[in-house]
Amino acid sequence: MRIDCDVDETAPAQQCMTRNAIREILEMATIKAPLRMDTTYVRKTRMMTTVDGRVHPKFINKLEFILESESDQLASKIAETNNEIEIRKRLIRQRDTDDLEQLFEHRVKEEIEFFGWVGDTFFRPIAVHAMKLSLQEYTIKNVDVNQQSMMTLESCGGINSKYWEVQFKRARWGSGYYHAVVCTTSRIKYHVNIEKAKLEIDSYEKTKQALNTKMDSLQIVPPPRIEGSSEESVSPPRTEDSSEENVSSNEWKQKMSKIGSYHKILELTRAAKLPVNDFLKLANAGVYQGSDVICQATALEKYLMEEFGL
């Protein structure tokens, strides 16, 4: 579909064609499932992947530098495990919904056409068209049809089925179109991913429990989880004499905050695609501008350090 944005004002035919194209686009948009920005991911560009590949090892080294003791190592593993759990919980929150997910879309358009030889006939017969979504694994939950000057002859399947078929033709001589969008729900389409994420959460929870048990053996007692927090904090290691703390509570909290931030940065630089809001935030920061990869890597490293308060 093309739109001429530089229409000659003295050419009524061009103006008419442009307006018709704009109208068709707007009509098509009315039956498209809305795009949820919080579930939309954008794949990194080749340049972003290259720059992130240079920055990622630097933050691995920064993290390893502050892991001075066995307790630090355990706290890092707990932070990493919590991060993996949160990633999967976020996936479940985003996908385990009744939001519509498109399975099939097709559009047929016919222009005005009266005459022309078809075999021995000079008048063209009105053609019968068919659309078909073959039997597939997802249950259909919505069928939206936008049509003009078309007549449905037969339809089967559709909502609560796993297939959909329709036959139609022009209701009269003249132009017309038939546009159909078939959808299921996010919960149905991503059922396998959701169940897999739940199993992985159970596995990570067991891993975290084992790490906490080891923490207890080092006399590190995790405090109660803070309400509304997705991360579990760990109290500083203590000797048998509680008055002789290896590190102050404030220093320990700062270290745990750093460890958690480094793991978030590592996930950000390791991922092949990002949530659209995170992608736009990085793009708008201007750290990927220019053609010098080394300069971009330096700018990204500085930006991430400031963004996460390191």
Residue 121: band (very low, low, confident or very high) from pLDDT cuts 50, 70, 90: low
> What is the token pair recorded at 272?
């092949």
Report the C-alpha gap between 80 and 208 in whole angstroms: 10
Residue 45: band (very low, low, confident or very high) from pLDDT cuts 50, 70, 90: confident
Q: Does 113 have pLDDT greater than 60?
A: yes
Q: What is the per-residue pLDDT for 119?
A: 57
Report the C-alpha gap between 146 and 162 in whole angstroms: 21
Report the C-alpha gap between 301 and 262 in whole angstroms: 12
Q: Does 246 have pLDDT greater than 90?
A: no
> What is the token pair recorded at 12?
């009524």
Domain membership of residue 48 as a residue range: 38-96+190-307
Residues 54, 136: one domain? no
Residues 74, 216: one domain? yes
pLDDT in tens, 188-197: 999 999 999 9
Domain C-terminal end among 160, 189, 218 = 189
Residues 219, 295: one domain? yes
When divided into structural domains, the chain yields a total of: 2
67-90 per-residue burial string, b: 16 or more CB within 10 A, e: under 16: beeebbebbbbbbbbbbbbbebee
Q: Tell me the average pLDDT across 139-156.
A: 90
